[in-house]
């Protein structure tokens, strides 16, 4: 019976995911944080959550104004690593490939920091303690003092040598950090394609969730390109493969759209009506409004995946995205309070909380 096989295969991992999910910051706590008068009050509330150990490690409530990013990044890395360890052994490589996005993001951060002559201390708070490129490895790589040397070191120390090598060669030829990181990210998502294909056979909902995340990244690329007045050829190298919207469809959308408004209206992958209205009303026209709207929609999809995935791989991947959105939400809340934004302005950035 499939039910019995699923219970044997996913019983342990899904029980662990359920336990981890119970420790996510609840809606009630988030609403109390939103009502807080200052960032310090939010940090104090974190002591009553699963972030308690990390808050204490990084100096307690008084230090949260400057060190909250350390707390969030550390916790995210820790929870992502747990997902790898609790997944069924024959499927851990799938989880490793998916959460490997944090390794790639860390490598990109290292490259950008070195190119800007920034020290490890200046960027360490944004490094997620991922499986292969956590704080320790990142610090060693940045100790080389150059982009070339750092990438060469990371090729030797991580399983991403095939992804890093083309990025390094591009950087040596062009000196462009943007091009190097674009190639690195594209190579990661190319490799992820085989994982998604395997996942489609195991759990369609989980695969769709990953494709939706790729769609978000591609939409942001199109929006930035349209805002800068670039042609599609110039941004095509940044289009990521294996999303729900293929390259041809994305190109057609971009070429046919006269401006950002018409580009947003043409997408069916996300509901961006409210974000577009806010964008039109804004003087500064921030594309962040669209990113936030898409992140919120991914959160809603992840939440449905976890709720409807019983004894399945989907529960594991659903939790991964829920944890990511939780960290995103806490950053918005704390930074928003720190910058003096109103409750309504903050709530607009986390629309799922309305």
Residue 126 lies in a domain: yes
pLDDT of residue 43: 79
With contact defined as beta carbons under 8 Å apart, do 299 and 291 qualify?
no
> 24-27 long-range CB contacts below 8 Å, 24 or more apart?
24/50, 24/322, 24/323, 24/326, 25/49, 25/50, 25/326, 25/329, 25/330, 27/353
Q: Is 231 inside a domain boundary?
A: no
User: 10 Å Cβ neighbour count for 204?
Assistant: 11
Does residue 260 fall inside a structural domain?
Answer: no
Determine, yes or no, domain membership for 106. yes
- Cα 190 to the center of its chain, rounded Å: 17
Counting the structural domains of the chain, the total is 1
In this prediction, residue 64 carries a pLDDT of 67
> Is 116 inside any structural domain?
yes
- What percentage of the chain reaches a pLDDT higher than 70? 97
With respect to residue 12, please indicate whether it lies within any of the assigned structural domains.
no
Render pLDDT for 40-72 as a digit per residue (tens, 0 to 9). Answer: 788 788 888 998 888 888 777 776 667 778 888
Task: Identify whether the C-beta of residue 223 lies closer than 8 Å to the C-beta of residue 263.
Answer: yes
User: Rounded to whole angstroms, how far apart are CA atoms 199 and 307?
Assistant: 19
Confidence of residue 2 (pLDDT cuts 50, 70, 90): very low
Chain segment 87-126, per-residue pLDDT in tens: 999 999 999 999 999 999 999 999 999 999 999 999 998 8
* CA proximity to 261, closest of 276, 248, 274, 246: 276
Q: How far apart are CA 209 and CA 143, in angstroms?
A: 37
User: What is the C-alpha separation between 263 and 265, in angstroms, rounded?
Assistant: 5
Q: Which domain holds residue 128?
A: 99-202
Helix, strand, coil share (%) of the chain residues, nearest 5: 80, 0, 20
Record the pTM. Answer: 0.83
Q: Hey, what are 141's tokens?
A: 């790589």
In tens, the pLDDT along 122-150 reads: 999 889 989 899 999 999 999 999 999 99
Of 201-210, 214-223, 342-351, the one with minimum mean pLDDT is 342-351
* Domain presence at residue 155: yes
The answer to the question of residue 313 being in a domain is no
CB neighbours of residue 326 within 10 Å: 21
Query: Rounded to whole angstroms, how far apart are CA atoms 208 and 186?
Result: 19
**From CA 156, how far away is CA 160, in angstroms rounded?**
9
Reference 99, options 123, 77, 68; nearest CA is 77
| Averaged pLDDT of the chain | 88
Please check the confidence at residue 333 and state whether its pLDDT lies above 90.
no
Confidence of residue 335 (pLDDT cuts 50, 70, 90): confident
């Amino acid at each position: 019976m499939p039910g019995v096989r699923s219970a044997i295969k996913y019983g342990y991992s899904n029980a662990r995911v359920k336990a981890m999910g119970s420790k996510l910051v609840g809606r009630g706590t988030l609403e109390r944080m939103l009502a807080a008068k200052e960032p310090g009050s939010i940090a104090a509330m974190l002591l009553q959550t699963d972030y308690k150990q990390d808050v204490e490690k990084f100096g307690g409530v008084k230090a949260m104004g400057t060190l909250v990013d350390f707390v969030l990044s550390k916790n995210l890395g820790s929870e992502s690593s747990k997902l790898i360890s609790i997944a069924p052994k024959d499927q851990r490589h799938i989880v490793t490939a998916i959460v490997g996005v944090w390794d790639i993001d860390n490598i990109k951060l290292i490259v950008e920091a070195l190119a800007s002559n920034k020290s490890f201390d200046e960027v360490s708070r944004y490094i997620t303690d991922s499986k292969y490129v956590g704080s320790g490895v990142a610090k060693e790589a940045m100790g080389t003092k150059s982009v070339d040397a750092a990438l060469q070191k990371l090729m030797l120390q991580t399983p991403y040598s095939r992804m890093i090598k083309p990025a390094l060669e591009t950087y040596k030829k062009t000196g462009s950090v943007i091009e190097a990181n674009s190639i690195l990210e594209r190579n990661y998502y190319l490799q992820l394609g085989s994982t998604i294909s395997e996942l489609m056979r195991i759990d369609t909902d989980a695969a769709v969730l990953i494709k939706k995340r790729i769609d978000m990244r591609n939409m942001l690329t199109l929006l930035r390109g349209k805002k800068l007045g670039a042609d599609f050829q110039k941004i095509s190298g940044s289009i990521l493969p294996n999303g729900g919207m293929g390259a041809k469809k994305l190109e057609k959308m971009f070429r046919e759209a006269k401006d950002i408004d018409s580009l947003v209206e043409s997408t069916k992958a996300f509901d961006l009506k409210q974000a577009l209205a806010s964008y039109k009303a804004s003087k500064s026209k921030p594309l962040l409004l669209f990113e936030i709207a898409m992140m919120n929609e991914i959160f809603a999809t992840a939440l449905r995946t976890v709720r409807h995935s019983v004894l399945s791989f989907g529960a594991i991947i659903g939790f991964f995205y829920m944890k990511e959105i939780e960290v995103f939400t806490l950053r918005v809340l704390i930074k928003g309070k720190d910058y003096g934004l109103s409750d309504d302005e903050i709530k607009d950035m986390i629309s799922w909380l309305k």
